[in-house]
Amino acid sequence: MSGEKLFSVQEANSMLAVLAPRLERIREARHELIRSAEQIESRVAIDGGGVAGGSWFEANAVLRTEVEAIVADGAILRDPEIGLVDFPSERDGRGVFLCWKLGEPEVAFWHPLDTGIASRKPI
């Protein structure tokens, strides 16, 4: 984990007020990308994708901006649909991830680096 920002539980929790709405925008943009892609596909033979293409580009820009902001803050987006985020951290001298999911009131779980959400343990 050399070079990565390491988060304390308090630091991770302090990001949630900004992170939660960002994850909602990511989820909405992802859904719009899927809807727009389906519309483009159905219209491409008629008019090259038409107006639906504009929605796709807008949603793509939102998705990119929000994901880049999460990465810049040092967090790791694991699953945009459920809003699953890991925060690099240390526990008992070894690297771990603090694990949080959209809708949870605070960061209350961790897991080893080589596992995922199924291995979460309470802090």
The gap from C-alpha 102 to its chain's centroid, in whole angstroms, comes to 9
Domain count, the chain: 1
* Rounded Cα distance, 92 and 71, in Å: 25
Band (46; pLDDT cuts 50, 70, 90): low
Q: What pLDDT is stored for residue 37 in this prediction?
A: 78
Q: Is residue 64 part of a domain?
A: yes
Q: Is residue 1 part of a domain?
A: no
By mean pLDDT, which of 47-56, 57-66, 68-77 is the weakest?
Answer: 47-56
> Which residue, among 54, 62, 57, 51, has the nearest Cα to 27 in the 3D structure?
62
- pTM metric for this prediction: 0.85
Q: Is residue 71 part of a domain?
A: yes
Query: Residues 107, 82: contact at Cβ < 8 Å?
Result: no
CA distances from 71 to 44, 80, 104 (A): 34, 13, 20
Q: Is residue 34 part of a domain?
A: yes
Report the pLDDT averaged over residues 3-31: 95
> Which residue, among 10, 12, 6, has the nearest Cα to 100 in the 3D structure?
12
The answer on pLDDT for 95 being more than 60 is yes
Q: Is residue 21 part of a domain?
A: yes
Report the pLDDT averaged over residues 77-85: 96
Report the pLDDT averaged over residues 74-80: 96
Query: Which domain does 33 fall in, by range?
Result: 9-122
Q: Which residues, 6 or more positions from 32, have their beta carbon under 8 angstroms from its beta carbon?
A: 55, 56, 58, 59
